[in-house]
Structure 1
Amino acid sequence: MNRSKNRPAFTWMFCALAATALLGGCASVETRPVATVAASNPIVAQAQHLAKNHAALSGAERSENEQQIERLLAQLDDATLSREASALIEGDPLYNFAGRALMKRGLPLPRPFDRTSDWSFHAAQRPPAEADGYRPPMKLAVLLPSTGPAAVAAASVRDGLLAAYYGESRRRPEVHFYDTAGTPAGALSAYDKAAAEGNDFVIGPLGRDEVSALFGKGALPVPVLALNRGNTTPPSGNVSFSLTPEDEGTAAADYLAERKAKRVLAIAGDDDSQRRAVAALKQRLAARGAVVTDTVGEGTADLGPFVAKEGGVDAVFLAVKGSVGRTLVPKLALVGLADKPRAATSQLLLGTGKPEQDRVLDGIAFPSESWISGGIRGLPPAVGTAQQLPTARGPAARLFAFGYDAWQLSAYLERLAGRSDAYVAGATGVLRIDGFGNVLRTPAWSTFSSGVAVPLADASRR
């Protein structure tokens, strides 16, 4: 486990608040020989052919090619996927896809991902790593908006990062904050300034458009841990970390697929995050051989016609707030879905807090942050932290945990990229890096019990 040791429990709170005063101011395609040995399994051979041409694609064509590979690999059972991944020689472009599929199923990698030398994150310039892999940057730049509409959300990320930073008793880098103003132009300017001022690693930017603009530059002189997913794959040697609705939809699909769900009814509101969660759910279920039978609005009066269709429904996904969920549960019971697996997004927590009303939500699983649901070593409990820091209160607690993990990742990236068994037990969940520079998060899972949100044991494999 990669976790910092001997963290003072509350020292960081004062430091995080005091440090506020310090605040101021197209992906390149790597070409290399493609090494393959034709697979005997026809499904793997087809995926191998698609992977061989993947690096030459871009845009929608590249995304569709990636989805086709995922759908093919999803047809393999665990034992076959593990065996076929082990048989792929070093340099086979399918290996990173197969390895990611293994990671998402909670299965071990046969070897580390195939990476080039730029995945060292300039670590050779730093002092040797600690025994647990801790090897933080020498001079760290953090790109966050301190002005503009996103400044409030960024403050929670900032304070979570500072909580981890000041809670670390070992060597720490200089930290410099740069205001992106929440715009692509601001992010590009902040990055260029950070690079010119000698920072050897960058955390940020935060906005999706900002990340897209930065990754669109191609090769970057200073490696980046972006705090969102852009519209392009991170350039080689850079990493993307996010808490997006897509991640929750994907996590819910995996949760339901582990419970043998093949036909899932999705019920959602009409805001953007809810629609994005459902879209990701559909994509991941399709890759795992399942299907969303229908997506119905949260205000649908009668769910009977959707359940009565041929094949029926064997699980339910709810992309709704808790206040809406309370009205939906009786409707699910009326059509025989009360005892089926039910998963939701973390929005299920919104509008809750009164156990006598929330009992109706008992048994619905939703992704949560390890720190919020059960606590983690080195960080005081979420309830106590919220009492002292407004930026860790209510919905902002997720962003606080996100910032905490951004620091953790910056200190352990070299180990995460270089070892097949490496992970960080973070505040938002168990964190790993796939072969394409994306942080894969296995969230904690929670449910309601007697109207109170509690950790859900053994909800997912790790």
Structure 2
Amino acid sequence: MLASALLLLAGCATMGGPTPAQQAANAQAEALYQRGDYQGAARTWENLAAPGQRSALDDGYRLRAADAWFAAGQRARAAQQLASVDSAALRGNDAARYNLLQGELALPRDPQRALAIAAMLPRTLPPDLELRAARLQLAAASAVGDRWTAARARVRMDPLLHGAARQRNARAAERLLVSLGVPDLQKQAQALPANDAMLPWLAHALHSLGSALPETLPQLTRPAGTLIAQGAGATQEGFHAYHQVALLLPLSGPLRPAGDAVAEGFLCAYYNTPQPQQRPPVRIYDTQGTPAGALAAYQRAQADGADLVVGPLTRDEVTALFASNPALPVLALNHPEGAVNPPPGSVEFGLMPENDGTEAAARMLQQGIRSAVVFLAGSDNEQRAVQAFKAQFEAGGGQVLSVQTLPQDTVNYRAQIQAGVAGLGSDGGFFIAVPPETARLLLPQIRVARLRQPVFASVQVYTGTPNALDRDLDGVQFPDAPWLYDAQPGLPSRAALARDLPAAGGRGARLFAFGMDAYLLSPYFAWLQQHPGSYVAGATGQLSVDAQGHVQRTPIWVHFVNGAATPATGTLSSAPASEAPAP
């Protein structure tokens, strides 16, 4: 069997392999190539290939010489040298390099052939070859007018680029996808597997076009942290012990109240851990709420010996940190801008308004509601919730009859109600994405119009604090965090905490719960991503992780009864308190 060219390029001397002199010359050629002296590298590899010899070593040298001539812009010489290579003698990455170079040489005169070659290349290439393969696919697809394949190539390039180059590539990918339009994007999404890396990019493009993708809701089957016998003791399934955790939050500037609430929730869960020996040291770093501050905090945490980063909190901070290609695993507390997935080993977690719309649509369909009228007040979060609702409801066979934006310069919504409810029958319902003040005006007017269909809302309909005026909202259902209602076993009582920690009882209570979940997730998120159906019973809901590294949150359902927000029965599936996992 001929010696592998891959072993040759790694400099491994085996029986029948390169001599020490050949290894030294090959290393010199590789160094010249890496320095950008492509012509010097090409000549060195040409000299290494013995004239008239046909072996994997010699063909490997000729292939690298052809590749270097191509990099030097000498296409004719590259083609001549490539023609002297016996492709049948090549193995592994050398075979892929040969085909890649064939495609690159064919591109100017025959882009269709170049595109076909790019499609046949393996997807498990070294990063340098993978980036070249993606660029070949992009150039060939662009030349033949195939915008979808060009966009896929740019998404393929995304994790291989860094800094400004990655940002430019992401913007170009988004422009390509947006140019396809909603129908084509929806059609492509339906053909993709659930874990395809294109799906977040499609979702972002559809959001830009005022639409959304339906979500695949997690099917939860078992909690993480189950005790497993191990010798004379026991271990918790999925638990990963970290040596030092860095918590990155805005503790100064205008975002300090949010950062303080998350920090208090995180530390509350930390000190509530039943096994103190499982608590890693935690150091908190102020990001000042800026991308530069987040990057500086990450660098300090890394220098201090952290092996897990939790945070930062804002979207632009997370975007900057992910773009820096962090070496440490990160549990980011927001989603980045655009459609960038977390780096390998990291995940992202956020209280996203889209989750409200998705959950409301699924619940309405589950209850047999097949048509819906939507009211919103017009903020960005409300629009995002409505887009998600519409996508999920229609994907499940429902029909959104009307979307009505309520004017802010009046308290009379009679015209919007009359315009929206045409065709709404007994199998219909309402979805409202409005703040409490607007909801308290809207609901009585819906009832005055003698409309008795059920009403579902986004979580913003309730501040988290009891209010006598909420009697006007009786019957309205909305998804929320179970801890706010002491509906999650194993967590400390909200009422008890609120006596000493104001953030636990006021408008920051959901952020407090979010901070608790950041700690509860931290030992398990890597395992959850590898075990679909597993979850952590958290303060904001049941927490699972999808294949792309997005934390999925399954909340409980709450309804107003005599003005009090009360958990609905049968909306929380969790382990009994005695089995609740401890971080």
Q: TM-score, normalised by structure 2?
A: 0.58
- Alpha-carbon deviation of 1:301? 2.6
What is the correspondence of 1:237-316 to structure 2 with a 5 Å cutoff? Answer: 237-292=345-400, 293-297=402-406, 299=411, 300-302=413-415, 303-308=417-422, 314-316=428-430
Partner of 1:79: none
Using the TM superposition, give the Cα deviation of residue 228 of structure 1 relative to its aligned residue in structure 2, in angstroms.
0.6
State the identity as a percent. 36
1:382-421 superposed matches below 5 A: 382-421=494-533
Cα distance between partner residues in 1 of 2:348 and 2:488: 23
Distance 2:214 2:539 in 1: 23
**Does the aligned pair in 2 maintain the 1:147–1:179 contact within 8 Å?**
yes
Say whether 1:206 aligns with 2:319: no
Larger radius of gyration: 2
Q: Distance in 2 between matches of 1:69 and 1:226?
A: 32
Which residue identity does 1:345 align to in structure 2?
S
Partner of 2:431: 317
- C-alpha distance in structure 2 between counterparts of 1:63 and 1:227, whole Å: 27
> Which residue of structure 2 lines up, in the alignment, with residue 342 of structure 1?
455
Which residue of the partner structure matches residue 429 of structure 1? 541
Does residue 149 (structure 1) correspond to residue 254 (structure 2)? The answer is: yes
CA contact (8 A) 1:249 1:278 kept: yes
Shift of 1:71: 5.1
Deviation at 1:319, TM superposition (A): 1.4
Q: Within 1, Cα distance between the matches of 2:151 and 2:362?
A: 23
The one-letter amino acid of 1:32's match is: T
Matched, 1:172 2:285: no
Q: Does 1:224 align with 2:336?
A: no
Q: How far off its partner does 1:387 sit?
A: 1.7
Letter aligned with residue 279 of structure 1: Q
What's the secondary structure of 2:432's corresponding residue? strand
Q: Distance in 2 between matches of 1:275 and 1:438?
A: 21
- 2:117 aligned residue: none
SS in 2 for 1:388: coil
What is the distance in 1 between the residues matched to 2:176 and 2:310?
A: 27
How far apart, in 1, do the equivalents of 2:458 and 2:247 lie? 29
- The number of residue pairs the alignment matches comes to 386
The CA deviation at 1:73 is 10
In structure 1, distance between residues paired with 2:393 and 2:189:
9
- What is the CA distance between 1:137 and its match in structure 2? 1.5
Instruction: Determine the C-alpha separation between the residues in 1 that align with 2:546 and 2:314.
Output: 22
- Alpha-carbon spacing, 1:413–1:51, altered in 2? closer, same or farther (3 Å): farther
Cα deviations by residue, 1:33-62 (Å, 9 ceiling, x for unpaired): 89xxxxxxxxxxxxxx99987646845268
1:136 and 1:412 in contact (8 A); partners too:
no
In the alignment, the residues of structure 2 paired with residue 196 and residue 67 of structure 1 have an alpha-carbon distance, to the nearest angstrom, of 46
Name the CA distance, whole Å, in 1 between partners of 2:449 and 2:441.
14
Q: Hey, what does 1:42 align to over in structure 2?
A: none
On the 8 A contact 1:50/1:69 being kept in 2, the answer is no
- Unmatched 5+ residue regions in structure 1? 1-29, 35-48, 77-83, 110-127
Residue identity in the other structure for 2:299: D
Pair 129,149 (structure 1): closer, same or farther in 2 beyond 3 Å: farther
Q: Matched residues in 1 for 2:465 and 2:270: separation?
A: 32
Q: Deviations over 1:163-203 (max 9, x none)?
A: 11111124221111111000111111111221222211100
**Secondary structure of the corresponding residue to residue 295 of structure 2:** helix
Residue 380, structure 1, aligned to residue 492, structure 2: yes
What TM-score do the two structures reach when normalised by structure 1?
A: 0.73
Q: Which structure carries more relative contact order (alpha carbon 8 Å, separation 6+)? A: 1
Q: 1:92 to 1:279 in 2, by over 3 A?
A: closer
Deviation at 1:365, TM superposition (A): 0.9
Instruction: Say whether the 8 Å CA contact 2:464–2:484 is kept in structure 1.
Output: no
Change (3 A) 1:63 1:384: farther
Aligned to 1:20: none
Q: 1:274 to 1:96 in 2, by over 3 A?
A: closer
Which structure 2 residue ranges, 5 or more long, are not aligned? 1-121, 131-148, 159-169, 202-212, 223-232, 575-583
Summarize the Cα distance change of 1:213–1:63 in structure 2 as closer, same or farther, 3 Å threshold.
farther
Q: Could you say what the CA RMSD is over the residues aligned between the two structures, in angstroms? A: 3.9
Where does residue 9 of structure 2 map in the other structure?
A: none
- Residues 139 and 173 in structure 1, CA contact (< 8 A), matched pair in contact too: yes
Maintained 8 Å contact 1:362/1:450:
yes
- Residue 329 in structure 1 maps to residue 421 in structure 2: no
Counterpart pick for 2:124 among 12, 23, 32:
32
